[in-house]
Chain A
Amino acid sequence: MPVDQSFRGRSFPPTRPYEVGREKIREFADAINDPNPVYRERAAAQALGYPDVIAPPTFAIVLTLPAGGEVIRDPAFGLDYSRVVHGEQRFVHHRPIVAGDLLQVVVTVEDIRIAAGNELVTNRAEVMTVAGEQVCTAYSVIVARGTAA
């Protein structure tokens, strides 16, 4: 079953607010084997002008992956999730994510196209504070292999 093209341009309701914890940032930094103190020590982050520890450049995936996953797993969307691979990823940071941020994600299906028998879906995830401050825009291209054949 092909993807429902009418999803193109559709935005989904904001996700439940996510509070960025200092220990979660540390856990993520540990998991990518990055010892940078700016992810762990408030003083190191403050020396660079940040109010608290900041998150690594790809941390937003912790929020955007489940937010986007909800869309692509929606049975009405019609994507064969068992054939999905991650094709591309892009982050545009309006500012770093900082411990203590209370963030929400709004996912929009930007594009659906077919290339070489694969279905390619581009999602845009706007990560913002609950007060509406833009923090990060994340674009994901997911590829469903062979589903357009």
Chain B
Amino acid sequence: MRAYTVGDQLPAQEFPVVRADLVRYAGASGDFNPIHWNERFAKQVGLPDVIAHGMFTMATAVRVVTDWAGDPGAVIEYSVRFTRPVVVPDPDGATITVTGSVRSVREDGAAEVELTATVDGSTVLARARAVVRPRAGSGA
């Protein structure tokens, strides 16, 4: 397999999210904050509607990296800033669009990937970066 090159584009993906996804994520993650499933509560605390867990969006965005890398265990670092909530109205939900590219390659051959995650054209994650360890046999 060839080594990583700065500017390599990762295949972009679109991830639809509906309320049921948030309920399932709440159960699996243990984060039952009602802003993620209860419209009445979300509006009471000043949100436009129920919002996705930031960690759901973070987990979703890295799919672009793990699918590209082939081995999810190759992701040795991953960080994001949560800039804007992903509002998930019922029943239509929202779609998170994720793109990524290799912004730098470390001396040891690891790739630093920069991700963008947007909903309706607005950025929902900032400084979304993942480090992917060198490919086996890439000669790095």
Which of A9-17, A49-57, A110-118, A126-134 contacts the other chain?
A: A49-57
| Interface presence of A61 (CB below 8 A) | yes
A74 contacts B by Cβ under 8 Å:
no
Q: Identify the B interface with A (CB < 8 A).
A: 15, 21, 24-25, 27-31, 45, 54-56, 58-60, 62-63, 66-67, 71-73, 75-82, 127, 130
Q: Are B73 and A54 in contact (CB under 8 A)?
A: yes
- Residue in B63, B71, B82 whose beta carbon sits within 8 Å of that of A86 in the complex: B82
Say yes or no: A96 contacts B72, CB within 8 Å. Answer: yes
> Is A33's beta carbon under 8 Å from chain B?
yes
Report the number of A-B residue pairs with Cβ-Cβ less than 8 Å. Answer: 100
Interface centre among B25, B28, B75, B130, by most chain A C-beta atoms within 10 angstroms, is B28
Number of chain A residues whose Cβ lies closer than 8 Å to a Cβ of chain B:
33
Partner of B71, one of A48, A82, A139: A48
Contact with B along A62-97 (1 / 0, CB 8 A): 100110000000000000001001111111110110
Query: Which A residues fall within an 8 A CB radius of B?
Result: 27-28, 30-34, 36, 38-39, 48, 50, 54, 56-58, 61-62, 65-66, 82, 85-93, 95-96, 139
Residues of B within 8 A of A89 (CB): 54-55, 58, 79-80, 82
